[in-house]
């Protein structure tokens, strides 16, 4: 099948929605404008050179950290572990003074860094700017609520800092372009901290794909974030209940990158293929309405019954090569935890939870335990073979978080490109606003912006597969 004609068929069958760089959506009933000249080019003018392959050699990375809450506090402990060989913490910040005091005490009593060299910032919504304005920082970490990610990253890059920002890096198409344009304009790195790309199972699959176990053609992948947060997290674990408030205000897949990031590695997205269209649908909402009735009468969310986000959001993505990606976002129903992690190629298939492998010529089902173990041992990623002990010692989702931080610091130390770049951050984060736009347009396909401005067509090796850097 000609994939160009196939993609045109996808667009023409149901119509298509395009999105401008400012986030304005426009629907074309037959997949093209009335003038018949094709879909508009939605790329804004470039403000600087591409940052693909950008490097910056830094012997000792001096880091500042913004956000010390649920995620930031645990990640700060891993950043602390980079001292003294790879980097050091120079400043920490949180809007809550007690969070800063708690983190500072941990550094002083249990950490590797010298607390006397760590400055603290807190007390106002703009305290973080004082941290960023320092002239002795190389890298700023952002571990805040989602809506602060892009503004903080943009400000830091404009102040001459590289940025590592938690997922998702952006919440709108305009913000995605802001990150790309600012990185190119300032020639600073902007990395999204997608930790699942570093998990043992996911890197094992990535290595098998690269070694040809899945065959010459990958056809389909499925990922997601399925994690019941209603009972224990929404109204307890996050500052100002920001995560619950996102579900009150926004439709779509609000947290796509845990499932999508590894798939992007498997399929080489932005490295010879790209996401072209996304079509999304959501179920009715019931679970947060149910939970809201149980909250105390003086709670801000008591009795709310008009939550914007459905209990489950499903998205179908088509790549330029015609490959299919299925994503599911479900943090409300009573399902067991899963990121799905399914991948189908011409010679093999994998699905997670639990991890199972099927091979061409090995029967009609999954391989037995011995065969699975043989493939695991043969194709386990060298990063895990070499660093399993230290990764498990420091932990963070079984060690994946530690390896993510280690690889980031090590890339700067060695002066090599990062494992992921701003174009990955933008493309993966774009699922959030694009899925909402698709739902609002009755599930019609929405065209992905090309944040690389055409550079995705060039096949390039994943940095994580350069074993000389391990």
pLDDT tens for 353-395 read 999 999 998 878 999 999 999 999 999 999 999 999 999 999 9
How high is the pLDDT of residue 36? 45
Compute the distance between CA of residue 121 and CA of residue 287 in angstroms, rounded to an integer: 38
CATH superfamily assigned to domain 61-192? NAD(P)-binding Rossmann-like Domain (3.40.50.720)
**Distance of CA 23 to CAs 20, 171, 232, 428, Å?**
5, 11, 34, 16
CB 277, CB 448: distance < 8 Å: yes
User: Mean per-residue pLDDT for 51-80?
Assistant: 98
> Given the structure tokens 């490295």, which residue do they identify?
271
Residues near 137 by Cβ (< 8 Å), separated by ≥ 6? 62, 63, 64, 90, 91, 131, 161
CB 401, CB 218: distance < 8 Å: no
Question: Does pLDDT of 2 surpass 60?
Answer: no
Task: List 119's β-bridge partners, or say none.
Answer: 91
How high is the pLDDT of residue 261? 98
Which residue ranges does the chain devote to CATH 3.30.360.10?
196-386+422-465
Where does 196-386+422-465 sit in CATH, by number? 3.30.360.10
Percentage of the chain beyond pLDDT 70 is: 94
CB 328, CB 281: distance < 8 Å: no
CB 425, CB 52: distance < 8 Å: no
DSSP E strand boundaries for 110-160:
119-121, 139-142
Task: List 447's β-bridge partners, or say none.
Answer: 277
CB 80, CB 56: distance < 8 Å: no
Question: Does pLDDT of 455 surpass 50?
Answer: yes
Residue pLDDT, tens place only, 174-222: 999 999 999 999 999 999 999 999 999 999 999 999 999 999 999 999 9
Residue pLDDT, tens place only, 226-250: 999 998 778 878 889 999 999 999 9
Burial-class residue 385 by CB neighbours within 10 Å (0-12, 13-18, 19+). Answer: exposed
Burial-class residue 379 by CB neighbours within 10 Å (0-12, 13-18, 19+). Answer: middle
Which residue ranges does the chain devote to CATH 3.40.50.720?
61-192
- Cα distance from N-terminal residue to C-terminal residue, the chain: 40
How high is the pLDDT of residue 11? 54
Query: Strands 348-351 and 275-282: what pairing?
Result: unpaired
CA angle 225, 266, 279 (to 5 degrees): 50
User: The whole model's pTM is what?
Assistant: 0.95
Q: Confidence class of residue 35 from pLDDT cuts 50, 70 and 90?
A: very low
Query: Strands 162-165 and 190-192: what pairing?
Result: parallel
Compute the distance between CA of residue 466 and CA of residue 470 in angstroms, rounded to an integer: 8
Alpha helices in 395-463 (DSSP H): 400-414, 422-429, 431-440
Q: Confidence class of residue 7 from pLDDT cuts 50, 70 and 90?
A: low
DSSP E strand boundaries for 156-299:
162-165, 190-192, 218-226, 275-282
How high is the pLDDT of residue 57? 98
- Whether a cis peptide bond, with omega within 30° of 0, leads into 354 is yes
Residues near 249 by Cβ (< 8 Å), separated by ≥ 6? 308
Residue from 390, 385, 389 nearest 470 by CA: 385
Compute the distance between CA of residue 423 and CA of residue 269 in angstroms, rounded to an integer: 10
């Amino acid at each position: 099948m000609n994939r160009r004609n196939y993609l045109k068929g996808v667009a023409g069958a149901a119509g298509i929605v395009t999105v401008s760089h400012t986030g304005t959506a426009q629907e074309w009933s037959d997949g093209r404008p009335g003038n018949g000249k094709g879909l508009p080019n939605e790329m804004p003018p470039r403000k600087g050179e591409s940052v693909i392959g950008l490097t910056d050699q830094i012997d000792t990375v001096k880091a500042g950290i913004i956000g010390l809450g649920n995620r930031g506090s645990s990640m700060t402990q891993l950043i602390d572990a980079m001292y003294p060989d790879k980097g050091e913490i120079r400043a920490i910040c949180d809007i809550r003074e007690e969070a800063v005091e708690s983190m500072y005490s941990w550094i002083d009593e249990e950490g590797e860094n010298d607390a006397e060299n760590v400055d603290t910032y807190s007390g106002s919504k703009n305290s973080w700017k004082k941290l960023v304005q320092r002239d002795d920082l190389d890298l700023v970490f952002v571990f805040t609520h989602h809506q602060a990610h892009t503004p903080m990253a943009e400000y830091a890059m404009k102040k001459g800092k590289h940025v590592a920002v938690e997922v998702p890096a952006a919440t709108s198409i305009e913000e995605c372009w802001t990150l790309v344009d600012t990185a190119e304009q300032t020639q600073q790195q902007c990395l999204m901290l997608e930790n699942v790309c570093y998990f043992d199972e996911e890197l094992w699959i990535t290595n098998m794909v690269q070694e040809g176990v899945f065959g010459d053609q990958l056809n389909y992948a499925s990922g997601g974030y399925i994690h019941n947060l209603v009972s224990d997290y929404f109204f307890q674990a996050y500052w100002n209940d920001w995560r619950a408030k996102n579900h009150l205000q926004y439709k779509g897949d609000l947290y796509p990158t845990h499932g999508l990031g590894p798939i992007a590695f498997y399929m080489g997205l932005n490295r010879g293929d790209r996401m072209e269209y996304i079509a999304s649908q959501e179920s009715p909402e019931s679970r947060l309405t149910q939970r809201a009735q149980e909250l105390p009468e003086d709670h801000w969310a008591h009795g709310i019954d008009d939550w914007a986000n459905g209990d489950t959001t499903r998205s179908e993505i088509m790549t330029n090569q015609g490959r299919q990606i299925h994503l599911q976002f479900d943090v409300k129903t009573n399902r067991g935890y899963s990121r799905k992690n399914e991948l189908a190629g011409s010679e093999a298939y994998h699905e997670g939870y639990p991890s199972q492998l099927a091979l061409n010529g090995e029967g009609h089902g999954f391989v037995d335990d011995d065969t699975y173990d043989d493939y695991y041992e043969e194709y386990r990623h060298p990063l895990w073979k070499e660093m399993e002990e230290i990764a498990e010692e420091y932990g963070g989702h079984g060690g994946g978080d530690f390896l993510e931080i280690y690889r980031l610091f090590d890339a700067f130390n060695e002066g090599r490109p990062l494992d992921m770049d701003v174009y990955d951050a933008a493309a993966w984060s774009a699922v959030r606003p694009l899925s909402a736009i698709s739902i609002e347009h009755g599930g019609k396909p929405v065209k992905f912006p090309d944040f690389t401005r055409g550079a995705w067509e060039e096949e390039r090796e994943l940095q994580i597969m350069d074993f000389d850097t391990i």
